[in-house]
């Protein structure tokens, strides 16, 4: 990969026209971006990093049919690819700085590229980031972003840094995205036609945006300006099933990386991870890396009233185990799970109020012969058969 965005679709001369038209917007690119010696347009980007600074690097790939449906708006694809990627930086406590883009397209489509690139640059502008390179090729639609961020040495929120006795905290609520995806694909209806689902989603987009974004974003391109707790969110919509379903769909389509929180806990927390594959799977990564077990109190899990209401109305004979299973293993939450010294629990609660982000203590890390997540209900160990998102499942 080079830091010029190259394309097999066009001649060499038109290649640079494509770059300048869609992916080299000088007004937004910030040539004076911190630490950037040379940005897009040469064989490599050049970065100058101070000796006391670390670079955090993460790569994520989103593939059509696997991570988003056919006919998904290009702006929405750019939005989700971006948020999914910088969520990893948030989990490490890094300040987002740069991104490289590898774009695989079945064909050249000016309208598609225009909507995708405009949304991407709006997000880069909102987060003060810079596109420094990438590549394009022909093939089934896929987007790969490599994001880089910076953080002071010895402050990274490594999974392996969890300590015995640490309190486990979780931001926001979990399960909304998983249930939202079920509402989009109507998995509960075995007769659904996936083509109709995809077409229906296109027609629903504006309604979902009108429902979800005024609460969670200034607009689709801007960072979240304020958070609304689940209790406040549901006061006026408890009985509006259509509104709640659209809100859940929005949770899946428009996740929000917890960058502000990651920076705020960098000097306080011992370890962290973002919830991409489901809390059950991702918290287990902290256990495996730190050699500890996690004791989670099921009744303390932050599950929104919207999730409970819609789930109960769509699953009349549901069990508590089934509800917990979806919330814990559905994935795509992009909340932060982190551990802190038990004596700092009150400080974390205060921090959550200052940031207007719900932060819930869900259990503790413990020494154990087996590094695993254990669940408790009414004081007793509770057996749940759970699995996180499997990237290679059918």
Q: Annotated binding residue at 58?
A: yes
Collapsed DSSP state (helix, strand, coil) of residue 382: coil
Q: What angle do CA 391, 82, 173 make, to 5 degrees?
A: 70
Q: Annotated binding residue at 110?
A: no
Contacts of 195 (CB under 8 A, 6+ apart): none
Q: Annotated binding residue at 134?
A: yes
Rounded to the nearest 10°, the torsion over CA 158, 162, 166, 172 is: 40
Q: Annotated binding residue at 135?
A: yes
Q: Annotated binding residue at 271?
A: no
> What whole-number distance in Å separates Cα of residue 75 and Cα of residue 99?
17
Collapsed DSSP state (helix, strand, coil) of residue 293: strand
For 153-248, where are the E strands, in sequence order?
Answer: 167-171
The residue among 74, 80, 141, 146 whose CA lies nearest residue 111 is: 74
136: left (phi over 0), alpha (psi -120 to 50) or beta: beta
Q: Annotated binding residue at 325?
A: no
**The dihedral sign for the CA sequence 219, 97, 30, 21:** negative
> What whole-number distance in Å separates Cα of residue 160 and Cα of residue 336?
16
Q: Annotated binding residue at 12?
A: no
> What whole-number distance in Å separates Cα of residue 253 and Cα of residue 208?
9
> What whole-number distance in Å separates Cα of residue 90 and Cα of residue 342?
22
> What whole-number distance in Å separates Cα of residue 1 and Cα of residue 274?
27
Q: Annotated binding residue at 347?
A: no
Kindly state the tokens that stand for 92: 């490490």
Q: Annotated binding residue at 186?
A: no
Q: Annotated binding residue at 88?
A: yes
Residue 206: count of CB within 10 angstroms of its CB: 9
Collapsed DSSP state (helix, strand, coil) of residue 233: helix
Contacts of 21 (CB under 8 A, 6+ apart): none
Residues at the binding site are 43, 58-60, 67, 88, 134-135, 159, 274, 276-277, 332, 389
Residues at the binding site for ATP are 134-135, 159, 276
Residues at the binding site for Mg(2+) are 43, 58-60, 88, 135, 274, 277
Residues at the binding site for substrate are 67, 332, 389
């Amino acid at each position: 990969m080079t830091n010029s965005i190259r394309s097999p679709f066009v001649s060499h001369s038109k290649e640079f026209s494509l770059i300048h038209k869609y992916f080299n917007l000088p007004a937004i690119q910030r040539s004076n971006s911190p630490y950037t010696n040379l940005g897009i347009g040469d064989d490599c980007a050049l970065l100058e990093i101070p000796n006391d600074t670390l670079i955090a690097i993460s790569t994520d790939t989103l593939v059509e049919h696997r991570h988003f449906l056919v006919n998904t708006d290009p702006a929405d694809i750019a939005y989700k690819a971006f948020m999914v990627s910088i969520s990893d930086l948030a989990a490490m406590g890094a300040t987002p700085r740069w991104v490289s883009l590898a774009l695989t397209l079945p064909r050249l489509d000016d309208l598609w590229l225009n909507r995708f690139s405009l949304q991407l640059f709006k997000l880069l502008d909102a987060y003060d980031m810079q596109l420094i390179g990438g590549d394009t090729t022909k093939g089934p639609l896929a987007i790969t972003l490599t994001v880089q961020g910076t953080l002071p040495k010895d402050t990274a929120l490594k999974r392996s840094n969890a300590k015995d006795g640490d309190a486990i905290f979780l931001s926001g609520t979990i399960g909304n995205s998983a249930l939202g995806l079920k509402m989009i694909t109507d998995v509960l209806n075995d007769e659904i036609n996936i083509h109709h689902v995809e077409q229906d989603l296109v027609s629903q987009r504006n309604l979902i945006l009108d429902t979800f974004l005024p609460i969670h974003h200034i607009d689709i391109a801007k960072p979240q300006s304020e958070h609304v707790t689940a209790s406040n969110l549901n006061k006026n919509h408890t009985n509006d099933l259509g509104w709640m379903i659209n809100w859940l769909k929005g949770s899946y389509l428009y996740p929000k990386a917890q960058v502000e929180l990651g920076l705020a806990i960098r000097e306080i927390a011992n370890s962290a991870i973002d919830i991409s594959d489901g809390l059950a799977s991702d918290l287990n990564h902290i256990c495996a890396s730190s050699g500890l077990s996690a004791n989670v109190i099921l009744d303390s899990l932050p599950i929104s009233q919207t999730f409970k209401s819609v789930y109960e109305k769509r699953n009349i004979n549901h069990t508590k185990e089934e509800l917990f299973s979806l919330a814990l293993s559905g994935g795509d939450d992009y909340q932060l799970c982190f551990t802190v010294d038990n004596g700092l629990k009150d400080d974390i609660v205060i921090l959550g109020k200052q940031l207007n982000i719900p932060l819930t203590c869900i259990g503790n890390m413990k020494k154990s012969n087996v590094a695993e997540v254990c669940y408790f209900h009414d004081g007793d160990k509770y057996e749940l058969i759970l699995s996180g998102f499997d990237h290679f499942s059918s």
